[in-house]
Structure formats: structure tokens, C-alpha cells
Amino acid sequence: MLLNQRSQLIRQLANQFGFDDCRIAKAQRLDDDARRLEAWLNKGYHGTMDYMSNHVEKRVNPSELIPGAKSVIVLMFNYFPETEQDEHAPHIAKYAYGQDYHVVIREKLNAFLAAIQHQFGNVQGRGFVDSAPVLERAWAQRSGMGWIGRNGMLIHPQKGSFFFLATLIVDLELEADDPIAHDFCGTCTKCIEACPTSAILPNKELLASQCISYFTIELKSQELPEELSTVSSDWVFGCDICQDVCPWNRFSRPHDHPELAPLNEILNFNIHDWMSLSEERFNEVFASSPLKRTKWKGMQRNLKLLPKV
């Protein structure tokens, strides 16, 4: 079978398993990205996320994860919701409206890999979704799925940026897609201007330790900086500001993934509903939600950011 026929079959399989786009990059060491990552870490922009400095070689060299890796299959999973939160609800990032995407996508990746092995024989591979040392956005850019915007998000020219990225590294040779030749952010700086904590730097670097998502999800301290309450814009889990203002997200369309259907509590709970929620009830309602990552205590801490509390 010719390489382009293999790649076409891979895309057809990806569609069957519910992925919204599939592109392919040649597996090779990401030398430029390795230098950028090292410089970013040396500046301390990752804050307390020490895991970012672990397994650096695995992050930039797919052969460290799959010996003999030949191709990186990049997959998109749209999460843009049809219904957004009530205007009085404490703000939660759209990606967290439904079930934990790690679980949802990992199951699809495993089934996708099994289908590839059934089709092509003894193929070695591993699927990754966000929680492993893989630079998904770098691979997505190389595969032609989009370009990395000023806010650090991958932007797809027809779908915007409200989607998850997953990768499947395999030792199967495939025909790679061409990267997009230009960065279509142009002179637009809307995301920089809109960021209330100035976490988006002009040179396409993210000062992650100043991002609202970092404070409300990644930071594990019992208290948040007092000054954050004046700029948090009612966000209590993650933040979508830089994506909401991005002109390319006018192309975002609601997903059709039932697993990501929004929880009623996320859409409609007001501040007092959240504050009166017991830990037991929180664990019950959000057992399959990304919100379990910050836990009940973390959400109670984050709610203190709101001026009405």
C-alpha cells in the first residue's frame, strides 16, 4: 500500500472514532522547540509546575517514547459548547463543562490504535492526551493542523481554537502533511490586550505563572494572591478570555460529542449554590468532571476571588 493510501485510511479511521480532524507529521526530534522550551523554563515562566521540567528529552524526541517512531498522528476533538453558562454563574472554562476529556479521548485513542493494528499488522504505538511529556501543539503545527497563536493556543483556520489535541506516535511510516506556511495572527493583539493579568507576552511567550488558569487549577497553595480578586473577572476554574476575543473563533461550531454535554450545575449554579455545596455532594456531582482536579477545597478557595462572596 502506498504511503498516501495509508495516510488516507488513517484519516478515515480517525473520523470513525469521532475525531474532528486528523493530520500527520514525520516523527523527528523537535530541535527548535527544545531550545524554546529550555529558555522558557530557565526564565521560570512555568511557576510551580515543576513537572514541566521533567522528561524534557521525551517531550522533544518521539523515539524516546516509541522506539523506531516514524509518524506522529495528530487528532482534534472539538469541545466548543452549544450552550454557555448563565450570566450569573461563576465562570468555568468551556473545556470543563462535561466529562473529563482525558478519560474520553484516551478510550478513543486506544480503540483507534487497535484498529490501526488490525489494519496494518504489528504496529507499535502509544496515544497521548495532555497528561504525558508530549508537545501536542508543536506536532499539530508541524502537521498543518494550524498555527500557534499569540496566546499559545493552536489556531485552526476553519475551526478556531476551542478543541483538545491528542497524539498517537507509531512506528508506521505515513505520508506527512505540509505545515501551514504563514502565521495568520498578523498584527492582531486582541488576546494580549484582553488578558487581565498580562500573562500573554508580545513575543508569543506565555507567562504561565500569571495566568488565571494557573492560579485556579495548577497552584496548590491554600490562599490565592489577594490582588487576583480585582482582575480574575469571575473566573473560578480556568479562563477563556484570550480565546473568546480571538477573531478566529468566529469559526467555532458546537461539538457533537455527548460525553462533553455540559453539567447543569456548571451552567446554572450561582455563587451561593457553589458556596453551600458540601464536599460529599461536590465529589458526587463532579466525579467524572475536570473540576475534580482542583477538588472541593480548591473550588472553595477560588470562589473567594469573587467580589460578591
Question: Which residues are tagged catalytic?
Answer: 130
Locus of grid cell 505520508: 175
Q: 220 with 173: CB under 8 angstroms? A: no
- Write out the chain in H/E/C secondary structure: CCHHHHHHHHHHHHHHCCCCEEEEEECCCCHHHHHHHHHHHHCCCCCCCHHHHCCHHHHHCHHHCCCCCCEEEEEEEECCCCCCCCCCCCEECHHHCCCCHHHHHHHHHHHHHHHHHHHHCCCCEEEECCCCCCCHHHHHHHCCCCEECCCCCEEECCCECCEEEEEEEECCCCCCCCCCCCCCCCCCCHHHHHCCCCCECCCCCECHHHCHHHHHHHCCCCCCCHHHHHCCCCEEECCCHHHHCCHHHHHCCCCCCHHHCCCHHHHHCCHHHHHCCCHHHHHHHCCCCHHHHCHHHHHHHHHCCCCCC
Measured CA to CA, the distance from residue 185 to residue 136 in angstroms comes to 20
Residues 86, 188 contacting (CB under 8 angstroms): no
